[in-house]
Amino acid sequence: GAVVSQHPSWVICKSGTSVKIECRSLDFQATTMFWYRQFPKQSLMLMATSNEGSKATYEQGVEKDKFLINHASLTLSTLTVTSAHPEDSSFYICSATGLRGYNEQFFGPGTRLTVL
């Protein structure tokens, strides 16, 4: 149990375009989903926390108008990178909680975004 998937696994796009990344909990209902960004050789940086049916809570320094998060159901959250630029190129990872009540997060496999 506790499987989280992400789609796509990698994406290459042109500067100025928007990219949507999906995060799904396959075998449990995720009360909360998280989005992280990880640059090469760096740690995971929490971008935002999303709860089903409510607005996401963004961490300080993360532009909410650039990184749109929608958590439409208990099994799906999406991250849209709007007007992507080369500096947005990164590894984006989602995670979900809900299986054991609190704390433990189950991670998706990540999405490698490259903006040309």
Partner 1 sequence: GENVEQHPSTLSVQEGDSAVIKCTYSDSASNYFPWYKQELGKRPQLIIDIRSNVGEKKDQRIAVTLNKTAKHFSLHITETQPEDSAVYFCAASPNTDKLIFGTGTRLQVFP
Complex with partner 1: residue 14 or 43, whichever CB lies closer? 43
Angle at 72 between CA 105 and CA 45, to 5 degrees: 40
**Residue 5 neighbours by CB under 8 Å, 6+ apart:** 23, 24, 26, 108, 109
| Min CB(109)–partner 1 separation in Å | 5
Q: State the maximum Cα–Cα separation within the chain, in Å, rounded to a whole number.
A: 41
Complex with partner 1: residue 14 or 102, whichever CB lies closer? 102
Complex with partner 1: residue 14 or 41, whichever CB lies closer? 41
- Pick the binder of partner 1 from 11, 13, 45, 62 (CB under 8 A): 45
Instruction: List the beta bridge partners of residue 4.
Output: 25
Residues lying near partner 1 in the complex (CB under 8 A) = 32, 34, 42-46, 49, 60, 91, 93, 95, 97, 102-105, 107-110, 112
